[in-house]
Amino acid sequence: MIKDSPILTVRRKFRRPTDAQLQSFNKASTGFVVDSQDGNGALDYRIKPLVDDISSAFFGVAVTCQTGPSDN
């Protein structure tokens, strides 16, 4: 058990991209997008679609977090 719980900040209100901005990335190559963000924002290669279909694709906004060492 953790003796002292960490102080967490939960941001509930933040700017999200517009539908037009999202659509501009619809056909973009993932590698190009990640490279343009200095290598940040890529999914782990082990994350795969549930359907083994080459036409499966997705894009959109993701809520992310950054954790420290030994954070279970």
- What SS3 class is residue 66? coil
- What SS3 class is residue 20? helix
Question: Contact, 65 vs 27, CB < 8 A?
Answer: no
What confidence category does residue 18 fall into, taking pLDDT thresholds of 50, 70 and 90? very high
What DSSP string runs through 30-56? HHHHHHHTTT-SPPPTT---SS--TT-
Each residue's pLDDT tens digit, 26-69 = 888 888 888 888 877 777 778 777 777 777 677 777 777 767 77
Question: Contact, 56 vs 49, CB < 8 A?
Answer: yes
